[in-house]
Structure 1
């Protein structure tokens, strides 16, 4: 962790030297981590959000373009992708929060099995789509 700068002096107008941050419960514990680590954690969260958007758009697009396959299978594949997109967005926030807590407490970063779950969901959507294309 890098060295902390000199303590901030109170603002003469009465404003707090530490701006209010959300979620406040997270920032109330531990020490301020190196900014590079926090920014890397935020970039990781944003990458998960981009992934969730891609999954959501894929599910919507699959249903909208009407591939020549049974409608039931297309719907199932689309729902799997949309559910995966929603779960990934939620995981982005939870993962960011848990990693930021670990950084602030100077403990090892938490592990996650979500990548395995996401891989299974995407593979399932792909398999359903493939079967549907063969049947269509």
Structure 2
């Protein structure tokens, strides 16, 4: 895929996005594969969030319609946000590895944790009342 010199892509390299693969040199494949596994872990998290939304909708828990719809929307919005943030994080990490720079901060996890905290509090209050 590269030009054999470790400098990066050639004009014929078909990989996208170019703003990731068009910079730096090829990192150790183990690191790239670990980055891909991390992205797939985020995808599993998104699937779990969507499954939770479907379960709340199907089983009508909590029983208060307004709270249930609100929590379902929060779960779906969190899933959507995680999808976008996971793609961006994958690209930022891949590019940082290619350019031999420090990896970006782990802000995506804190965003997910905050969203799940809000969802948990809403569900907790709705189930108690």
Scaled to the shorter chain, the TM-score interval is 0.7 to 0.9
Instruction: Output the aligned Cα RMSD.
Output: 2.0
Query: Which ranges in structure 1 are unaligned for 5 or more consecutive residues?
Result: 1-5, 9-15
Q: Which residue of 1 aligns with 2:30?
A: 36
Structure 1's consecutive aligned runs of 4 or more residues displaced over 3 angstroms after TM superposition are 16-19
**Matched position secondary structure for 2:119:** helix
Q: Which residue of 2 aligns with 1:3?
A: none
Q: Which has the higher contact order (CA 8 A, sep 6+)?
A: 1
Distance 1:117 1:25 in 2: 25
Residue 59 (1) aligns with residue 53 (2): yes
Residue 95 (1) aligns with residue 92 (2): no
Given that residues 78 and 125 in structure 1 are in contact (C-alpha distance below 8 angstroms), is that contact kept between their aligned partners in structure 2? no
CA offset at residue 18 of structure 1?
5.8
Aligned residues: 123
Q: Select 1:123's aligned residue among 98, 117, 121.
A: 117
CA offset at residue 66 of structure 1?
0.6
Distance 2:124 2:86 in 1: 29
User: Computing the radius of gyration over CA atoms, which structure comes out larger, 1 or 2?
Assistant: 1
Q: TM-score, normalised by structure 2?
A: 0.86
Q: Which residue of 1 aligns with 2:74?
A: 80
**Matched position secondary structure for 2:73:** helix
Given that residues 57 and 68 in structure 2 are in contact (C-alpha distance below 8 angstroms), is that contact kept between their aligned partners in structure 1? yes
Distance 1:32 1:7 in 2: 10
Distance 1:114 1:33 in 2: 23
Given that residues 58 and 81 in structure 1 are in contact (C-alpha distance below 8 angstroms), is that contact kept between their aligned partners in structure 2? yes
